[in-house]
Amino acid sequence: MIDSHHPDPAEQRLTDLEIKASYTEDLVDTLNAIVARQQQQIDQLARELAALRQQMPAPDAGNFRSLRDELPPHY
């Protein structure tokens, strides 16, 4: 007769592993959702960066500017 107060060690190990597997599956699902959301954010930022680059004036090779021209007025 099996004592219900003291489960078989192998049965307990199996139960513990099933619980850990369940938590791990939940964690993987959560992390997958986070990664998918971050990828959407990266894609959006890449589109915004491309749009900003298109708004920038084209560099004019004939209009050379010295770095001294870029110094703020207080220098």
In this structure, are residues 48 and 54 in contact, taking their beta carbons and an 8 Å threshold?
no
pLDDT digits (tens, 9 = 90+) for 45-57: 999 999 999 998 8
| pTM score, whole prediction | 0.59
pLDDT digits (tens, 9 = 90+) for 27-70: 999 999 999 999 999 999 999 999 999 998 876 655 666 676 67
Percent of the chain at pLDDT exceeding 70: 77
Cα distances (angstroms) measured from residue 25 to each of 14, 17, 20, 70: 16, 12, 9, 55
**How far is it, in rounded angstroms, from Cα 11 to Cα 6?**
10
- pLDDT over threshold 60, residue 75: no
**How far is it, in rounded angstroms, from Cα 43 to Cα 51?**
12
What residues have CB less than 8 Å from 2, skipping those under 6 apart? Answer: 8
